[in-house]
Amino acid sequence: MKLENLKPAAGATKNTKRVGRGQGSGKGGTATRGTKGAKARSGYEHKIGFEGGQMPLQRRLPKFGFKNPTRVEYQAVSLASIQAIADAAGVKEIDVNLIKDYGFAAKTDLVKVLANGEVTAALTITADAFSKTAVAKIEAAGGKAVTSK
């Protein structure tokens, strides 16, 4: 066996279709593009959503709604989750980084503490925002709610 004798297995390769090379080739004339229309021309490239000249779907449907560009979104964390972190870590001070380390919020999220669940220990909790009832429950347990801004 020599390098120059190697060739692909039978049926592994196909010859490319040579179109537009005269009538004798069997692929002359329209070069397998059919007759007329944009797709038969050179340089054909349609826009996304083009429907052949029919009014496209995105223009047929009405516009509605509003996206507020200044909206601030928070990741909600319950008091039950905070208590679980305190029990697992054995700490009295919980901040945003600790909440993120335990997977209750993503790295870039702002954290808001909500009043679902109960806090049994006196904890100092630092977060980006608190609900009023969450602050009341934290202070009732002898803790402090500190806003980190």
Distance CA 106, CA 147 (A): 18
The answer to whether position 27 is within a domain reads: no
* 96-112 pLDDT per residue, tens: 999 999 999 999 999 99
Distance CA 147, CA 123 (A): 14
Q: CB–CB of 122/103 below 8 Å?
A: no
The answer to whether position 12 is within a domain reads: no
Domain carrying residue 100 = 74-147
Domain of 102: which CATH number? 3.100.10.10
What is the average per-residue pLDDT within 1-8? 93
Torsion of CA 45, 51, 53, 55, to 10 degrees: -140
* 122-138 pLDDT per residue, tens: 999 999 999 999 999 99
Confidence of residue 1 (pLDDT cuts 50, 70, 90): confident
The answer to whether position 122 is within a domain reads: yes
Helices (H), 63-128: 79-89, 96-101
Distance CA 117, CA 114 (A): 9
Q: CB–CB of 40/34 below 8 Å?
A: yes
Residue type, 91: V
Q: CB–CB of 77/97 below 8 Å?
A: no
- Domain count of the chain? 1
Q: What is the pTM of this model?
A: 0.59
